[in-house]
Amino acid sequence: IAGITQAPTSQILAAGRRMTLRCTQDMRHNAMYWYRQDLGLGLRLIHYSNTAGTTGKGEVPDGYSVSRANTDDFPLTLASAVPSQTSVYFCASSAQSADTQYFGPGTRLTVL
Amino acid sequence: AQSVAQPEDQVNVAEGNPLTVKCTYSVSGNPYLFWYVQYPNRGLQFLLKYITGDNLVKGSYGFEAEFNKSQTSFHLKKPSALVSDSALYFCAVRDGTGTYKYIFGTGTRLKVLA
């Protein structure tokens, strides 16, 4: 069982470029989340999805978009990357009836 | 508004000594509380949670946490620290509105000294 996978592991991106971070889970969890982790700020929620077909905004959604076409996949898109989006991005999921979130290994993104 | 505070950026403890990592929270309704650990260049790993029931919760790797409603705290503890416990620890509280949103603390770096 893989759990949650994220791709790419790391990426260096020029400012202004479009980028999609991929997240896939094989646990059939209903809820999925995207966080960014920055030094001194902990984890901040970007977007979430309670179930396939629905999404919601978290604490820091500006500059990011998500989609949830099916249960397993929850891609995060940066339409036009800016240096302030340099961060480590974590995807997570949780089952509807349970409360524990399970995290992917993260994507380290650098925007120059 | 929901919030979580981890007042210590770093905690140093000698190997074999007991350790405590502090967490306080503010949430509407009954809190769902969690501790996660992050090792270098890794994602967060679940340690333990409090939903209801016994105030003392036992989790992975010998860790435990005590829910204290009057003090709105959920401190993480371990009776005897190991060097391998050195990591970044996050406390989290679940948003009580049913949207499954978590609020994370800023993290506490635990350093266990040999």
* A42·B42 Cβ contact <8 A: no
Task: Determine whether B70 is exposed, middle or buried from the number of CB atoms within 10 Å of its CB (0-12, 13-18, 19+).
Answer: exposed
**What sign results for the dihedral spanned by CA atoms B24, B49, A39, A66?**
negative
* A105·B42 Cβ contact <8 A: yes
CA distance B45 to chain A (A): 7
- Tell me what the mean pLDDT of segment B26-35 comes to: 87
Condensed to tens digits (0 to 9), the pLDDT of residues B57-82 reads 999 999 999 999 999 999 999 999 99
pLDDT at A79 exceeding the cut of 70: yes
Residue A60 vs residues A24, A45, A57, A64: alpha-carbon distances, Å: 22, 6, 8, 9
Report the share of chain B in percent with pLDDT over 70. 95
Contacts of A44 in chain B (CB under 8 A): 104
- Tell me what the mean pLDDT of segment B78-107 comes to: 87
- Tell me what the mean pLDDT of segment B33-45 comes to: 91
Confidence of residue A14 (pLDDT cuts 50, 70, 90): very high
pLDDT value for B96: 64
pLDDT value for B28: 79
Residue B37 vs residues A32, A53, B27, B68: alpha-carbon distances, Å: 19, 31, 22, 21
Q: Name, in order, each residue with C-beta under 8 angstroms of B105's C-beta and a sequence gap of 6 or more.
A: A42, B4, B5, B6, B23, B90, B91, B92
pLDDT value for A29: 92
What does the DSSP 8-state code read for residue B69?
T
Q: How far is CA B13 from the centre of its chain?
A: 16
Contacts of B43 in chain A (CB under 8 A): 4, 90, 103-106
Confidence of residue A27 (pLDDT cuts 50, 70, 90): very high
pLDDT value for A1: 56
Residue type for A104, please? G
pLDDT value for A97: 45
